[in-house]
Homo-oligomer: A and B are copies of this chain.
Amino acid sequence: MSAAQEPRARTAPALALPGRPCSAAAALHVVGEKWALLAVREIFFGNHRFEAIARNTGAPRDRLAARLRSLEQAGVVERRPYNERPPRYEYHLTESGRDLAPVIRALLDWGDRWVLEDRPVVMIHEPAVPTGHEGSHGDTDAHAHELDAAWICRTCGEEVVMNTLTVDVRAPGWDRSGPRAPGPAGD
Contacts and interface: CB of A to CB of B under 8 A. Distances in A.
Contact of A178 (B55, B102, B122, B158): B55
A111 B176 contact: no
A62 interface: no
The SS class assigned to the A binding surface is mixed
Interface residues of A, number: 106
Interface in A126-163: 126-128, 142, 144-156, 158, 160, 162-163
Contacts of A180: none
Please list the 5 inter-chain residue pairs (A to B) with the smallest Cβ-Cβ separation, ordered nearest first: A18-B58, A23-B111, A19-B58, A120-B171, A27-B111
Interface of A: 3, 8-14, 17-34, 37-38, 41-42, 44-47, 51-52, 55-59, 75, 96, 98-128, 142, 144-156, 158, 160, 162-171, 174, 176-179, 187
